[in-house]
Structures are given as structure tokens and as C-alpha cells.
Amino acid sequence: MKKLLLVFAAAIAASACSSMIDDIAPKNYIKAETLSQEDIGKLCNGMRYKMESVVKSIWYRGDWLSENFTSGPGFDVADVHAETQSAASSIALSDWRTLFTTLNEVNELLRRSSGIDGVKAKEALGNAYFFRAWIYYNLVIRFGGVPILKSPTMDVVPFSKEEDVWAFIITDLQEAINVLPEHYSIYYPGKDAAKLLLARVYLWRGRNSDAASLAEEVIKSRHVLNNTAEDFAKMFIYGTENQEIVLALANIRSTGYNLIYDSVNDVDGSWNYSPAPKYYGSLYQDTPFHSGDIRKEATFSEADATRLIKFPNGGTGMNQFIVNAKASNSPLVMFRLADAYLIRAEALGPESGLKVLKEFMEHRYSSVTLPSSMGEKEYQNLILDENNREFFGEGRRWFDIKRTGRTDLYDTWNGRDFLLYWPIPQKERDIAGKDVYPQNNGYSD
């Protein structure tokens, strides 16, 4: 009997395993408590990895909403403009959520890299300021005033006015310019990328001379404009080192690809977007001002009007203008020298801008004959057209229209009760409360 009780006691003791409960932990994660200052560089990489997917997820907004695109095969939509015109809009919600959840991650990196020394910490800090500014830039051009979060918080933060958001962006970019290194690789943000973004911000705010001078600083840096269709196309292929690029996200990974082409050029026959017929036929046509646009053959397909060949087509980039060795790892180009020229040209206005514009165009056309002077509107038309030729399929157009207020360029918009500020997503308002998250003008509350 004694033996039996011993066995029994031993068995109970052996199975009293409270400590084993505490030992249960995931293998593919580590606990956040275990992070140290040493890890700051890796966290910075993690943030840039996240930014790749963010940039990809909002990539086509400006093309889609501006009618640059029409439905692709296997996809049809009743009313593209309705997509941002109600508080239930899925596009507004998706962008809001993507940008704000990422902001939290950026803020966390900023918190962890503030006040510590070292090259990695400084780089992380600069990156965090830069990307936070980029996130708020994307929020403010969509929604206007939004909550400003300077650090991670679980609290519901009330809205700030639009001008405060712009001011916050400018401060962040000035910090970024201070902290970031001079340009050292097209795949990492340097001072010039931050300057370009700030120049664009100034353009939005109407601070044209500030915009022009910052753009000029970038023009004077070591970047080089492309002259041929092939060189232009090389900006969009895997492993590019094209010197026109100011900042591209590398997008190198072996899983969870960011395929910008699965929306425009999928190979299974059901992609979402195709170039709108009106642009396919006319965007790159010759005008009295210029002819022989090098971007035409690098952008549209001679053979197939439903494809955009600026980016990879399918897995091997088989229909891309030039061979892309690893289509799924194609870079996401955020800024290039063309931005600097076009910002500067726009900021300077027709009087002194024409010269800048001509300098730029000479790299993009086989012949350019610009007049010595132009009216404001005509000049703006030219600038907007040039922007669309340059950035077709890169998500810029709708925001250019909004910035300049030129809705008249669209038959389907003009005269329509169309709101240029996106609605604050109803779902977020439901959670935060309508008073804390007021709706933008024009939408039902």
C-alpha cells in the first residue's frame, strides 16, 4: 500500500506542470519585452517592409478615380466616382485603415529610436519621420483634417484641422531632412527624397517659391534624367539602379509579393484595370509643342489595348516593354527626378517655369517646341498633361486634379455634385463617436 501511495504521489507531482504553461510561446514571434536597442536597425527594416505593402495597396487610386483606367477583363463596375462619395465607401475605409495602422508602427519605431545614439538609430529616426510625413501627406490629400498622433496610443484622438496636419507634415519633413543622410542608395530614403516630398507639400500649400527652391536642390544633386524609352522603362524592373530614381522601395521578398501588376496585367484573364480608351488613343500623341514621346511605347502595348506594359505583365513580365528578370520583385518607384522638374516648373509658373519644363521635355521627346510665353491656364494644362504622361499608372492623376481644382478636365465630373474631400469612413466614426470624428462637408452625418 505504501508503494502504491508513493506511485500515486509521484504521478501527481510529475503532472503538476504549472511552469509548463508559462513556457508556451510562439516560435515565429518573440515577445516584445525581449527587444533591445540593438534591434533598432531590424525594426527599421520591418517598417520599410510594411511600407512596401502600403505603397502597393494605394498605388492605383489616383488613376482609377481620374478615369485614367477603365474596367479590365473580368471586372466591371457601375460608377467609379461613387467609390469615394459615400461614408460607406470601401476605398476611403481601406486607405484610412491602411495608413493609420501603419502610422502606429512608424510611431513605435520613432519612439524606440528617439534619444539613443548610433548610426542605426539615427537612420531609423530619419526613416520614421519621413514615412510618418508621407502617411500624413496621403491622409491629408484625401480626407483633409485627421487626428494627429505623435506617439502610439490606444486612446481615441480627436481631429486636427487640415492646416495643422500640413504643419505637422512640414515639421516632420524638416526633421527628416536634418537626420537623414545624403542620398546613398535609391532604395533608402535620403535627404533628397524628403526634400522632394516637402517640395510637393509646399506646392499643395501654395508656397511655390519654397517648393521651387527645394526642387532645385534635388535637380542639382547627382540624379540623371532618362532619354530613351528603354531607359525610362528600366526604372520599373527588378534590381534597377537607374539614376533618375530618387527613392524606390526595393520590394524584394520570396513570399507575400506586392504585385502591382495583378490589377492591370494579370495573366489569368481577369485583371481589374485597363487603360481608358480615350487615353490609350491620345495620351502620348504629338502636339504642336512636342512630338515623339519616349514614354508611349514604354507605357502602352501596340498589340493589346487592355494592358499597361510599363509594369510587369504576369509572372515573367512577358509583355513588359523590356525584360524584367524577377517581375514579382519589381521596385515600387516613389520619387524620381521628373518630380523635381515638374514641381519646379509648376511652382515657378509660366514665366520662369517654361524653361525648366523645356529642359525636362527635351529628355522625354524627340522634339520640343515650346513658345516663349504662355497663359496661366494653358501652362497648367500643359503641366497636368505632362504629369499624366509621366506618371500614368502611378496613382497621381486624381490628386493633381484635386490640387489644381481642374475638375473641368472631365466631362463626367463637371457639373456633377462631386466632393473632392473623401468622406471620413463611417465605420471609424461608429467606433469613435460622431462627435469625435466629424464628417466632412457634403456627406450626410
Partner 1 sequence: MFIISLTNNDRMKKYLFLSALLLLVSVAVHAQNLSLDLKDVPVREVIETLQRELGFSFVIKTNEIDLDRKVSVSVKDADINTILSQVLSGQKVTFTVDGQTVQVYKAEKPLEKETAVAAPPVVQVPQHVVRGRVTDPAGEPLIGCIVVPGKVSTKAVTTDLDGNYSVSVPKNGTLEFSYIGSHTIVEEVAGRNVINVVLRQKVESLDAVMVVGYGSTSKRLVSSSIASVSLDEIEKGADIDPVKALQGRVTGMSVSSSSGIPGTAPRVIIRGVSSISGNSSPLYVVDGIPAESYPNVNANDIESMEVLKDASATAIYGSRANSGVILITTKSGHKGNTRVQAGIYGGGAMVSHDIIMANTAEYTNVMGVAVDNYNAQQNALETLYVPENPADFDWMAAVSRKIALRSGASVSVSGGDAKTRFYSSVGYENEQGYLNTTGFKKVTGRVKLSHDITKWLEMNINTSIAYGRYDMVEETDGSLKILRAAREEQPWYTPVYEDNSWRVMSSGGLARHNPVMIIAEEDYYVNKYQLQGTVSAVFKPFKGFKYTPSLSGYSIYDKTIKKLTENNLERGYKDGWAALSEQKDNSFRYVFDNIVQYDNKWSELTFSILGGHSFEKYEYETFGAKSDNYTNEAFPSSSFNLITAGTSIYPGSIGYNAYALESWFSRMALNWADRYILNLSFRADGSSRFPEDNRYGFFPAGSLAWIVSNEKFFPVNPVATELKLRASAGQTGSMNGISNWAAMSLVAAGSPYNGSSGMRITQTAQNIRWEKASKFDFGADVEFFSGRMNLGTDVFYSVTEGLLYPRPVVSTTGYTSLTSNIGTMDNFGVEATLGGRIFDGPVKWDLSGNFSWSRNRLLSLLDKTPIIIVENAKLYGGNKHALIVGKPVSAWYMLRMDGIYQYDSDVPEKLYAKGVRAGDVKYYDLDNNGDIDDNDRVYCGKATPDFFGGVTSNLSWKGLELNVFCQYSVGGKVFSAWKGCGMEGTESLGLSSGSVTTDKGKSVVQYYNVSKKAATEYWRGPGTSNSMPRPVITGLHTGWDYDYNILTSTRYLEDASYFRIKNITLAYNFPGRWLEKAHVSGLRIYATVDNAYTFTKHEGYDPEASMSAGPASATYATDFGYEPMMRSFLFGLDIKF
Cell 534597377 identifies what position?
A: 240
What does 326-374 look like in DSSP terms, one character per residue? TGGG--EEEEEHHHHHHHHHHHHHHHHHHHHHHHHHHHHEEEE---S--
Which residues, numbered 135-164, are part of the site for partner 1 (CB under 8 A)?
147, 149, 152-154, 156-157
> Is residue 324 within 8 Å of 330, Cβ to Cβ?
yes
Q: What does the DSSP 8-state code read for residue 267?
A: S
**117 sits near partner 1 (criterion: CB under 8 A):** no
In this complex, which beta carbon is closest to partner 1, that of residue 349 or of residue 438?
438
Query: What CA–CA distance (Å, rounded) separates 399 from 420?
Result: 9
**86 sits near partner 1 (criterion: CB under 8 A):** yes
In this complex, which beta carbon is closest to partner 1, that of residue 408 or of residue 430?
430
Taking CB under 8 A as the criterion, the residue among 101, 114, 352, 369 binding partner 1 is 101
Which residues, numbered 165-224, are part of the site for partner 1 (CB under 8 A)?
187-188
In this complex, which beta carbon is closest to partner 1, that of residue 144 or of residue 350?
144
Query: What CA–CA distance (Å, rounded) separates 192 from 198?
Result: 10
Residue range at the interface with partner 1 (CB under 8 A); choices 18-26, 161-169, 284-292, 368-376: 18-26
In this complex, which beta carbon is closest to partner 1, that of residue 25 or of residue 119?
25
Residues 6+ apart with CB under 8 A from 363: 225, 226, 227
Three-state DSSP at 164 gives: helix
**2 sits near partner 1 (criterion: CB under 8 A):** no
- Stretch 35-74: interaction string toward partner 1, x if CB under 8 A: x---x--xxxxxxxxx-x------------------xxxx
Query: What CA–CA distance (Å, rounded) separates 307 from 193?
Result: 30
Query: What CA–CA distance (Å, rounded) separates 42 from 120?
Result: 9
Taking CB under 8 A as the criterion, the residue among 257, 410, 413, 418 binding partner 1 is 257
> Is residue 74 within 8 Å of 158, Cβ to Cβ?
no
Which residues, numbered 402-441, are part of the site for partner 1 (CB under 8 A)?
426-428, 430-433, 437
Shortest Å distance, C-beta 97 to partner 1: 4
> Is residue 47 within 8 Å of 104, Cβ to Cβ?
no
Binding-residue total with partner 1 (CB under 8 A): 101
Shortest Å distance, C-beta 218 to partner 1: 22
Shortest Å distance, C-beta 233 to partner 1: 20
Rounded to the nearest 10°, the torsion over CA 242, 397, 403, 98 is -80
> Is residue 121 within 8 Å of 129, Cβ to Cβ?
no
In this complex, which beta carbon is closest to partner 1, that of residue 35 or of residue 116?
35
Shortest Å distance, C-beta 79 to partner 1: 5
Which residues, numbered 298-337, are part of the site for partner 1 (CB under 8 A)?
305-306, 314-316, 318, 327-328
Shortest Å distance, C-beta 162 to partner 1: 17
In this complex, which beta carbon is closest to partner 1, that of residue 58 or of residue 252?
252
Query: What CA–CA distance (Å, rounded) separates 357 from 365?
Result: 12
